Amino acid sequence: MKSDLKSVGSRFSDGLIFQNPVTVLLLGMCPVMAVSVSVFNGIGMGLSATFVLIFSNTVISLLRKFIPENVRIAAYIVVIATFVTIVDMLLQAFFPQLSKSLGLFIPLIVVNCIILARAEAFARVNGVFNSALDGLAMGIGFTAALIAMSVVREALGAGTLLGVPVMPPGFRPALLMGLAPGGFITLGFIIAAMQWALNRRKRKGKL
Amino acid sequence: MSRELIVSSSPHVKVSDGTSSIMLDVIIALAFPIGITVFQFGPRAAVIAAVSAASCVAFEYLYRRMMKKPGSISDLSAVVTGLLIAMCLPASVPYWMPVVGAFFAIVVVKQLFGGLGKNFMNPALAARAFLLSWPAAMTAWTASGVSLPLWDASASATPGADAVAAATPLASLKTGIIPNISLPDMFLGHIPGSMGEVSAVMLLLGGFYLWVRGVISLRIPLSYMGTVAALTFAFAPAGADRPMFMLYHLLSGGLILGAVFMATDYSTSPVTRRGQVLFGVGCGLLTVFIRFFGSLPEGVCFSILIMNACAWLLDKAGRPRRFGARAKRKGGIGL
């Protein structure tokens, strides 16, 4: 039981920090750059991807002994596409505004490298429980990174957070932060800050 | 025993040239065009330049101190960056803009990549690209000869607010029409524009000084401006006076500033001779492409930044043949 708890903990610390899909593995850059312009979109995208990750990891882990080696990628895509279609339709039905602003990036989750990478690297060789947990942890890590980026970009690029003005009067939003260069610069700073904190912890641990 | 015989290995003859003396030369060269902007736009221009240079030095000092690295403000490179940022701005920008630009240039573009000589893009131009985040302030041109007030200048330069606002020559060249400004005025700088794009004669004077002092070679400026001249001459719109069209293109915008002061930046341009010529030609091609086909009237900033990113490749292309080595006929990419 104790070792189980430990592995649960390591799933989450991997997903959030040590193997964070965005800031460490640098996967799925396309939706990250496009969507992290506003916090609302970032949360929407993060949760949609989390949903898909959990269920695709679960199903692929269940089927891992039946899927032939040679066509496994195609099989994964079919599984993932199923859940993406579900998310897409749910969003259209219940959050039409979010669905409209995320647009093409929801269907594009099908080919999101994070989801394929977790299927290929984790769900294929691990049990159902652990795979589902991995999907949840990775999804939370992805969402957290998206929120971190979109907070910076929305505050500097539009002067708002979740649409509410947060900057002092007279602040003039920087157009560039909402564009792709702003996204890459923000990501660079977040990665640098994370690495700095990790290195500091490592150094302190050694001392 | 007052005269000792010192035996040492070569070099025996030393010159005092170093980073700081080169940077000082660039500052002296920049003093010509900055001086003229004070006559054009009033003392505000000098204040903008001073704010920009001071904040560059401050950010450089603070960053090096925070990162516990040896101080580097005495090499004067931050001052040069600050002055160049100011040259990229209209004199009417609010004072916080050169400060934001200085932060971006010094911290993000220069120091995060390791400091002087390790940045792969020209810090001043990258700062200008960043400051285009506020397009209204960056394109509020003041007519020349109007002395801007020290405070609230942006209000008087906002189009429609006053008669001060004016279109730059490039804006009319974009539509294929030779601007309604006489050629001597273009040359002397009686035109609206950013601080560093008005006076061609002062920029050329500064460039001449740098060339005489051996700070820059003419390879990049000449190949850059030559390419722009050739292309604008060859592809002038039908019915336009070709030589005039070419001359107006050469004298307007940031071309001279870019070719002389920005593209010749040591750390972001190739070191090989052939590489430098290719660099200039590439800058010229991109500038003309952006001016003719882009959505912005001016392309100097982005073309130099793009070529900055290619400098390593051009150095490979320009690598001289080793003595005695045979040129490769086949195989390899020939670079």
Query: What percent of chain A has pLDDT above 70?
Result: 97
- Judge whether B65 and B71 are in contact, CB under 8 Å: yes
Chosen from A152, A153, A175, A189 to mutate, greatest number of chain B CBs within 10 A: A175
DSSP class of residue A15 equals: I
Report cis status (omega within 30 of 0) of the bond before B11: yes
Coarse DSSP helix, strand, coil percentages of chain A, rounded to the nearest 5 percent: 80, 0, 20
- Judge whether B178 and B241 are in contact, CB under 8 Å: yes
Distance CA B331, CA B315 (A): 19
Distance CA B288, CA B262 (A): 17
B90 alpha-carbon distance from chain centroid: 14
In chain A, domain spans: 2-206
CA-based nearest residue to B268, from B315, B306, B311? B311
CB-based burial of residue B147 (10 Å sphere; 0-12 exposed, 13-18 middle, 19+ buried)?
Answer: middle
Specify the amino acid at residue B94.
P
Q: How many CB pairs under 8 A join A and B?
A: 17
Residue numbers in A near B132 (CB within 8 A): 175-176
Say what angle helices B43-66 and B96-103 make with each other, to 10 degrees: 30
CA-based nearest residue to B165, from B128, B195, B139? B139
Q: What is the CATH number of domain B19-317?
A: 1.10.3430
Distance CA B43, CA B49 (A): 10
- Rounded mean pLDDT of chain A? 88
Distance CA B318, CA B277 (A): 9
Give the predicted TM-score (pTM) of the model: 0.85
* Residue B93: partners with Cβ closer than 8 Å, 6 or more residues away: B48, B131, B137, B138, B140, B154
ipTM for the whole complex:
0.82
From A173, A176, A192, residue closest to B130, measured CB to CB: A176
Chain-chain contact of A185 with B133 (C-beta, under 8 angstroms): no
What's the 3-state SS for B186-216? HHHCCCCCCHHHCCHHHHHHHHHHHHHCCCC
CA-based nearest residue to B301, from B125, B169, B173? B125
Instruction: Name beta bridge partners: B162.
Output: B159
Per-residue pLDDT of chain B (335 residues; tens, 9 = 90+): 567 787 778 777 777 778 889 999 999 999 999 988 888 888 888 999 999 999 999 999 999 999 888 888 888 999 999 999 999 998 888 899 999 999 999 999 999 998 888 888 999 999 999 998 888 888 877 777 677 777 765 544 444 334 345 667 777 777 777 777 788 888 887 888 888 888 889 999 999 999 999 899 999 999 999 999 999 999 888 777 888 888 888 888 889 999 999 999 988 999 999 999 999 999 999 999 998 888 887 889 999 999 999 998 998 888 887 887 776 655 555 44
**CA dihedral of B105, B110, B115, B118, whole degrees rounded to 10:** -150
Distance CA B105, CA B126 (A): 6
Chain-chain contact of B108 with A172 (C-beta, under 8 angstroms): no
Chain-chain contact of A177 with B108 (C-beta, under 8 angstroms): no
Position A91 scores a pLDDT of 92
Specify the amino acid at residue A5.
L
B205 CA: distance to closest CA in chain A (Å) = 35
Specify the amino acid at residue B192.
P
Residue numbers in B near A172 (CB within 8 A): 134
Distance CA B134, CA A173 (A): 8
Position A86 scores a pLDDT of 94
Chain-chain contact of A174 with B132 (C-beta, under 8 angstroms): no
Tell me which chain B residue has its CA closest to the CA of residue A177.
B133
Distance CA B54, CA B52 (A): 6
Tell me which chain B residue has its CA closest to the CA of residue A171.
B96
Chain-chain contact of B133 with A177 (C-beta, under 8 angstroms): yes
Is B18 an interface residue toward A (CB < 8 Å)?
Answer: no
Instruction: Name beta bridge partners: B74.
Output: none
Distance CA B299, CA A205 (A): 51
Is B306 an interface residue toward A (CB < 8 Å)?
Answer: no
